[in-house]
């Protein structure tokens, strides 16, 4: 009987204990008092949101770093702008209208802000937390480092909400159209960084409104949005002070020709059938102004198997040179360098001999002009890197800088930091910078510093498939820069393909009297002005 009573007590106690433990299914730990701005911004769905502990997932405050600086008088008055990176490494910002007290804070101030009771709303295009008195803001530290956040303008234009109220740097920005000596920052100016045009807005009363426009600079500033008539967000880049402009150059370097395509692995034998396509940006008489083209093959079988101590002039099977010393091309005209067969896709394919060939000979039986051993492959097919460079003049040595250069892939002995530092020199292009545009450190070689971009081998290509690398972008001769960076389009040629396949609807040369492109193409467009 005692056992029955004992069992009954235990059975009754179990549900009591279970119910006593089942007050919450929270696994333990303490909810942070600080909600990441990534999560806070996500609460806004198009209508005002009053912030409370429930919709902030148990939090009451934000912890962030100030990026606004009102000393330059170019930000909306009274807005304190802060950012954080507390969620998934995603940088987000927010604006808080606090009146005159906003000017008391400077970039690098670390603050905590109790936002409970605030109202999340979009005012004049900018998402803000209103109803926050200055008494709810507490400064915790000063001079907190803010790492430079380089963001291409095309990214900002594609997703203005993501970058709103964050500090970004537009790198290698130039104005479109090219500024006149009397042009100043005041108003809305279009800045191009090689990805797209973005509006740089400067208030009439900004302390730097009358500063002369630089040719090329890094522009630090805060992204603020406006709303278009159709309800879309339109970003503006707002400098804070004159020191947000880091001038890079006061001159324009315009290459006489740019690399626009090539075939490295035609359908059939490669020997004497590879060629490279160029586009002239000015009239060129090669007899009076000679050029040279150098290819680099870094396949495992190419010798010498060393780092390029003599740069593009390494020679043997690693680099091969063509001298361009006769013939003429007109501005906006294609020209070709390569094998003597002048066929579009190796043996048995269409002849393109009637095109503008400036230099061609049988590189499989003849050594290069000055260096390069006869070879069946100018350009690698192995997966290792290969490169193409064009130079003004026919003297190429370890110190010679090309006017344009492209690389495919990354494998092989390409760059050694040293000392001594050796590698293949690059030009200032859409992909490469001789000087790091942010740190201003020298980086004159491919694979040095930030010069790590390259085109890729076709992801599904196998040998002898006849893929032509057709580069597309927008190059403005007037601005002396790529305003749309080049991208590779992999065009598979057949034996019956014609020259139009690699020229037509590629880089469009026709422009009107104002320099605007007459014909547009969904694949690639360029401006030759």
* 8 A C-beta contact, residue 443 and residue 434: yes
Judged by DSSP in three states, 19 sits in helix
Count of CB atoms situated within 10 Å of the CB of 33: 15
Q: How far apart are alpha carbons 264 and 208 in whole angstroms?
A: 51
Please give the backbone phi and psi of residue 108, each rounded to the nearest 5 degrees, phi first: 100, -5
Under 8 Å CB-to-CB from 303, ≥6 apart: which residues?
316, 317, 318
Query: How confident is residue 29, by pLDDT bands cut at 50, 70 and 90?
Result: low
β-partners of residue 445 are 425
The two structure tokens encoding residue 168: 């970004």
Q: Which residue has the tokens 């130039």?
A: 174
β-partners of residue 468 are 263, 491
113 closest CA partner among 34, 222, 32 = 34
Q: How many CA atoms lie within 13 A of 346 on its CB side?
A: 20
- Segment 150-172 shows an average pLDDT of 96
Give the pLDDT score at 303.
96
* 8 A C-beta contact, residue 168 and residue 148: no
- Segment 450-468 shows an average pLDDT of 88
Q: How far apart are alpha carbons 349 and 352 in whole angstroms?
A: 9
Please give the backbone phi and psi of residue 519, each rounded to the nearest 5 degrees, phi first: -115, 135
Judged by DSSP in three states, 502 sits in helix
Q: How far apart are alpha carbons 385 and 423 in whole angstroms?
A: 13
Structural domains of the chain sorted by starting position, each given as residue range(s) with its CATH number in brackets: 37-141 (2.40.50), 153-249 (2.40.50), 252-529 (2.60.40.1260)
Q: What is the mean pLDDT of the chain?
A: 89
**For residue 6, pLDDT beyond 80:** no
Q: How far apart are alpha carbons 445 and 432 in whole angstroms?
A: 9
- Segment 26-33 shows an average pLDDT of 66
- Segment 511-527 shows an average pLDDT of 39
> Which pairing describes strands 110-114 and 119-123: parallel, antiparallel, or unpaired?
unpaired
* 8 A C-beta contact, residue 382 and residue 300: yes
Choice between 320 and 486, residue whose per-residue pLDDT is larger: 320
**For residue 28, pLDDT beyond 60:** no
Q: How far apart are alpha carbons 113 and 135 in whole angstroms?
A: 9
pLDDT digits (tens, 9 = 90+) for 355-392: 999 999 999 999 999 999 999 999 998 889 999 999 99
User: Considering the chain, what percentage of its residues have pLDDT values greater than 70?
Assistant: 89
**For residue 10, pLDDT beyond 50:** no
The two structure tokens encoding residue 517: 């492109």
> Which pairing describes strands 49-50 and 257-265: parallel, antiparallel, or unpaired?
unpaired
The two structure tokens encoding residue 204: 């009439």
Local structure of residue 242 (DSSP, 8 states): G
Q: Would you call the peptide bond into 374 cis, given omega within 30 degrees of 0 as the criterion?
A: no
pLDDT digits (tens, 9 = 90+) for 256-276: 999 999 999 999 999 999 999
**For residue 518, pLDDT beyond 50:** no
The two structure tokens encoding residue 415: 């760059």
Query: How confident is residue 483, by pLDDT bands cut at 50, 70 and 90?
Result: confident
CA 284 to chain centre: 31
Query: How confident is residue 34, by pLDDT bands cut at 50, 70 and 90?
Result: very high
pLDDT digits (tens, 9 = 90+) for 288-341: 999 999 999 999 999 999 999 999 999 999 999 999 999 999 998 999 999 999
Helices (H), 114-206: 153-158, 160-163
Q: Strands of 271-395 (E only): list them.
A: 275-280, 284-285, 291-297, 319-324, 328-329, 334-338, 357-360, 386-392
Q: How many CA atoms lie within 13 A of 103 on its CB side?
A: 11
Burial state string for 301-337 with b = 16 or more CB within 10 A and e = fewer than 16 = ebeeeebbebbbbbbbbbbbbbbbbeebbeebbbbbb
**For residue 475, pLDDT beyond 90:** no
The full 3-state SS of 19-68, as one line of letters, equals: HHHCCCCCCCCCCCCECCHHHHHHCCCCCCEECCCCCCCCCCEEEEEECC
Max Cα–Cα distance, the chain, nearest Å: 119
Give the pLDDT score at 505.
54
Give the pLDDT score at 7.
45
Q: How far apart are alpha carbons 354 and 254 in whole angstroms?
A: 28
Residue 499: exposed, middle, or buried by beta-carbon count in 10 A (0-12, 13-18, 19+)? middle
Give the pLDDT score at 519.
39
């Amino acid at each position: 009987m005692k056992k029955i009573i004992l069992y009954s007590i235990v059975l009754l106690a179990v549900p009591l204990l279970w119910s006593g433990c089942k007050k919450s299914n929270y696994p333990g730990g303490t909810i942070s008092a600080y909600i990441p701005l990534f999560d806070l911004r996500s609460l806004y769905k198009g209508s005002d949101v009053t912030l409370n502990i429930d919709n902030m997932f148990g939090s009451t405050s934000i912890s962030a770093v100030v990026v606004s600086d009102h000393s330059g008088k170019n930000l909306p008055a009274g807005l304190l702008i802060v950012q954080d990176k507390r969620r998934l490494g995603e940088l987000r910002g927010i604006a808080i209208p606090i009146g005159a007290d906003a000017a008391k804070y400077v970039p690098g101030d670390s603050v905590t802000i109790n936002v409970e009771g605030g109202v999340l709303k979009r005012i004049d295009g900018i998402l803000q937390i209103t109803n926050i008195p200055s008494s709810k803001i507490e400064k915790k530290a000063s001079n907190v480092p803010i790492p430079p956040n380089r963001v291409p303008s095309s990214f900002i234009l594609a997703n203005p909400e993501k970058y709103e109220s964050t500090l970004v740097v537009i790198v290698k920005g130039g104005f479109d159209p090219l500024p006149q000596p009397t042009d100043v920052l005041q108003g809305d100016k279009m800045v191009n960084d090689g990805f797209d045009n973005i509006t740089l807005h400067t208030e009439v009363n900004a302390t730097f409104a009358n500063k002369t426009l630089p040719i090329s600079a890094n522009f630090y500033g805060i992204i603020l949005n406006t709303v278009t008539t159709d309800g879309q967000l339109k970003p503006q880049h707002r400098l804070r002070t004159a020191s947000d402009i880091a001038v890079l150059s006061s001159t324009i370097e315009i290459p006489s020709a740019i690399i626009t395509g090539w075939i490295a692995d035609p359908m059939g034998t490669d020997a004497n059938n590879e060629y490279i396509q160029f586009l002239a940006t000015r009239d060129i008489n090669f007899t009076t102004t000679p050029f040279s083209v150098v290819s680099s093959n870094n396949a495992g079988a190419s010798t010498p198997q060393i780092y390029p101590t003599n740069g593009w002039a390494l020679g043997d099977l690693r680099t091969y040179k063509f001298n361009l010393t006769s013939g003429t091309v007109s501005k906006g005209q294609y020209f070709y360098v390569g094998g003597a067969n002048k066929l579009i896709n190796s043996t048995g394919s269409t002849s393109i001999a009637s095109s503008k060939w400036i230099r061609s000979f049988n590189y499989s039986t003849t050594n290069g002009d000055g260096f390069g051993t006869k070879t069946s492959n100018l350009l690698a097919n192995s997966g290792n890197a290969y490169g193409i460079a064009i130079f003004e003049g026919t003297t190429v040595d370890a110190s010679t800088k090309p006017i344009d250069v492209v690389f495919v892939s990354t494998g092989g002995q390409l760059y050694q930091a040293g000392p001594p530092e050796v590698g293949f020199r690059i030009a200032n292009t859409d992909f490469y910078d001789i000087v790091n545009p942010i740190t201003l450190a020298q980086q004159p070689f491919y694979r040095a510093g930030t010069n790590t971009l390259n085109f890729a081998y076709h992801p599904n290509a196998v040998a002898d498939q006849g893929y032509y690398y057709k580069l597309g972008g927008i190059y403005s001769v007037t601005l002396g820069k790529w305003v749309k960076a080049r991208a590779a389009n992999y065009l598979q040629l057949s034996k019956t393909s014609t020259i139009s396949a690699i020229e037509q609807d590629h880089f469009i040369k026709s422009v009107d009297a104002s320099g605007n492109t007459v014909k547009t193409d969904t694949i690639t467009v360029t401006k030759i002005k």
